[in-house]
Chain A
Amino acid sequence: MEEVAVKPFTQDLLRRWLSPAVIIVLVLLAGFVPWLVNRENVWNLLYLICLYITLGQSWNILAGFAGQTSLGHAAFFGIGALVVRTLWLGGVPFFLAFPLAGVAAVAFSLIIGVPTFRLRGAYFAIATLGVAEVLRIIVSQNLPMISTISAVQIANYNLPTRYYAMLGLTLATMVSAYLLLRSSLGLGILAVREDEEAARATGVSVLGHKLLALVMSSFFAGLAGSMFAFQQISYYPSAPFNPNWSFESVLVAYVGGLGSLIGPVIGAIFYIFVHEVLAIRLVNFHQVIFGLLFIVIVLLFPGGLMEAWNRIAILLKQIWKKVVSHRKPGGQPL
């Protein structure tokens, strides 16, 4: 009797408090470890992880939740970077320019989304790819010079400030995605992903929900771009429009597990660590390996690392059950 009463209680306790506990520990680690270690490469590594979590989650909101494939997240990222860099170097304080990056990215996303979301098929993906590439060409033609922050700004450059700003944005993105999933709007978005016709028949505005996902996604991608512009000392203005940013957003979301909240976090951590190891040894060739990895994931493990983990967990549970049932004396009734 006692065992029956206690077991669900501990399981319930685990289920209810395990994930919040893990999240708190992770956030505390992200907040304090670099401060305690205080080495430049640690700050940079964690900064990159946060940047890719934000980008991956932004892509995940659009493709994982709403089922709309974007092949041009670099467009939103680049627009955010361009707007903030121009304003910031022009004398506008960063925190004022920062929200404008998101707004500019959203404006561009609507230009793509409004005409293409009415149609089925690959039109949205083509349009995002097109806008990103055209923006890259225009920016590289009109702004061919490297953009460098001023000497005063370099003198005042403080990496931890950049890191904590990035961490804040990442947390905001994660919380927004979480709240979206819990809201009725999130249910509508998921319904559109699962079956557009059925969603429309039950009174869900298909276009509205797709646009909502797009707005949220491009907003956070734009803000991530503004963080890039804030952190980099010098870069070519066309660099944030590089198609690699689009690819990496997709890869991070896919590696972790598309459509799950925690997927981009796992994907970003995995991607950055493997990237750091491979990039040193293989230079350009490491992208080939990531391309191959990506194709294998899409074709064979569409659920990413999350799915792989779930499969392993189920397998372990089965083995554990077998072991326990063997050990119990008289486990077999009758």
Chain B
Amino acid sequence: MNFENVIQSLMFGLFTGAIYGIAAVGLSLVFGVLKVLNVAHGELLMLGGYISYFAFAAWGLDPFLSLLIVIPAMILAGIVLDRVLFRHIVRQEGEEKIKNSLLVSFGLALIMQNLAITQFTADDRSIQVAYMGMGINLLGISLPYSRLGSLILALVVILALHFFLHHSLAGKAVLATAEDVEAAELAGINIHRVFMLTFAVGASLAAIAGTQVVLTYGISPSVGLYWTLKALIIVILAGTNSILGAFPAGLLLGVVEGLSGAFLGQTYSEVIGLVMFLLVLMLRPQGLFVRQ
């Protein structure tokens, strides 16, 4: 295997990792603030992907432009899910809360997946944009426009989220709630509004990743669990206390998968993530990007 191929797989790993990263940051945000683990996160991603697909099929809307529809729609969906479902779990305590959130969102994942089958059929859908296959060729390494676009979008989204969390009042309230719910409530923060906001942002992050998934891989009702799993693994790799740390961890997983796919074959690249997950649990359970 020559040097160019290695760089090429590395770049594609980075492109994939950027999508992993956005999806994982959404999950990590919800887990960090609401302290519930939403196993239906991949189904939210799928929903976002379908909205983007239908916007393209109906009006020929570019997946980067359709974000203007996808994000408001998913904020709405997030608010509804929070009010109907997750509010009841947030009230519970400790271990029971995590366990029930896993079970309830597992049920939700099943509901959304089967609803998608009945509404959208089980066919694979993907978006074929005009600039598909076009790209820059840099020293023998091809960089397609669509993948570069995903990477840039991911960076913009993460930067925006960073500024929102650290430089706006609402964002600071979210971080404070993540740190200590009771103290935040005593300081006068309306934690239920924070939970609602967080879940809405988490759902839209999943959906933004979904628009890129439908552009690069295609989407079907059963893809949810796959993406949930990637996001979960990344959250554990980064450490559950590190919300934005999930993004570099996503890039890392993407690159490791890309390289192992090139060297060992595509099948084994699926196993690599799980092996990393178990190794991190054994050697550094607090996560890679958490300072002790």
Q: How far apart are B95's CB and chain A's nearest CB, in angstroms?
A: 7
10 A-B pairs besides A123-B281, A141-B267 with CB distance below 8 A are: A71-B102, A121-B98, A126-B37, A127-B274, A127-B278, A130-B233, A243-B225, A284-B118, A299-B89, A299-B100
How far does the alpha carbon of A254 sit from the alpha carbon of B282 in the complex, in Å? 31
Q: How far is it, in angstroms, between the C-alpha of A65 and the C-alpha of B110 when the chains are bound? A: 25
Contact A285–B271 (Cβ < 8 Å): no
Question: Mask for A272-293, Cβ within 8 A of B = 1, else 0?
Answer: 0000000000011101101110
Interface pairs A-B: 4 shortest CB-CB: A291-B111, A287-B114, A291-B110, A294-B107
Interface membership of chain B positions 91-133, coded 1 if the CB is closer than 8 angstroms to chain A and 0 otherwise: 0000100111011101110110111011000000000000000
Task: Please list the residues of chain B having a beta carbon within 8 angstroms of any beta carbon in chain A.
Answer: 37, 39, 85, 88-89, 95, 98-100, 102-104, 106-108, 110-111, 113-115, 117-118, 225-226, 228-229, 232-233, 236, 240, 266-267, 270-271, 273-274, 277-278, 281-282, 285
Known A115-B282, A122-B98, A243-B225; judge A129-B110 contact (CB<8 A).
Answer: no
Partner among A112, A125, A285, A298 whose Cβ is within 8 Å of the Cβ of B114: A285
* A134-B110 contact in complex given A69-B102, A121-B98, A127-B278, C-beta closer than 8 Å: no
Contacts A119-B281, A284-B118 known; A129 to B232 CB distance under 8 Å?
A: yes
Question: Within 8 Å CB of B115, what residues of A?
Answer: 288
The SS class assigned to the A binding surface is helix
- The residues of B that contact A133 with a CB separation of less than 8 Å are 225-226, 229
Q: How far is the CA of A223 from the CA of B67 in the complex (A)?
A: 48
Instruction: Give the residue name and chain of the B residue nearest to A295 (CB).
Output: B107
Please, how many angstroms separate the alpha-carbon atoms of A131 and B108 in the complex? Answer: 21
Contact sample, A vs B, 14 pairs, CB 8 Å cutoff: A119-B285, A122-B102, A123-B281, A125-B37, A126-B236, A129-B229, A133-B225, A137-B270, A254-B103, A284-B117, A287-B114, A288-B111, A294-B107, A299-B88
CB-based contact B274/A290 at 8 Å:
no
> How distant is A185 from chain B, measured CB to nearest CB, in Å?
22
A142 to chain B, nearest CB (A): 7
Q: Which residue of B lies closest to A137 (CB)?
A: B270
Taken together as a complex, chains A and B put the C-alpha atoms of A12 and B232 apart, in Å, by 53
Interface string of A290-310 (1 = CB under 8 A from B): 111011001100000000000
How many A residues touch the partner, as a band? 35 or more
Name the contact of B39 in the complex, choosing from A112, A129, A244 (C-beta under 8 A). A129
A216: Cβ under 8 A from any B Cβ:
no
Q: What chain B residues lie within 8 Å of A142 (beta carbons)?
A: 267
Q: Which residues of A contact B110 (CB under 8 A)?
A: 244, 247, 287-288, 290-291, 294
Which residue of chain B lies nearest to A248 when distances are taken between CB atoms in the complex? B110
In the complex, A116 has a CB within 8 A of chain B: yes
Are A288 and B114 CB-contacts (below 8 A) given A298-B100, A299-B88?
yes
Query: Is the pair B118, A116 in contact by a Cβ cutoff of 8 Å?
Result: no
Interfacial chain A residues near B277, Cβ < 8 Å: 126-127, 130
Q: CB of A120 within 8 A of chain B?
A: yes
Whether A79 sits at the interface, judged by CB under 8 Å, is no
Cβ of B58 to closest chain A Cβ, rounded Å: 24
Contacts of A134 in B (CB 8 A): 229, 270-271, 273-274
| Bound-complex Cα distance A207 to B88 (A) | 31
Residue A250 lies at the interface, judged by CB distance under 8 Å to chain B: yes
Q: Taking each of A120, A243, A283, which has the highest tally of chain B beta carbons within 10 Å of its own beta carbon?
A: A243
Q: With an 8 A cutoff between CB atoms, is A138 at the interface?
A: yes
Distance in angstroms from A283 CB to nearest chain B CB is 8
Kindly identify which residue among A125, A130, A287, A291 contacts B274, using a CB–CB cutoff of 8 Å. A130
Contact of A69 among B99, B108, B236 (CB under 8 A): B99
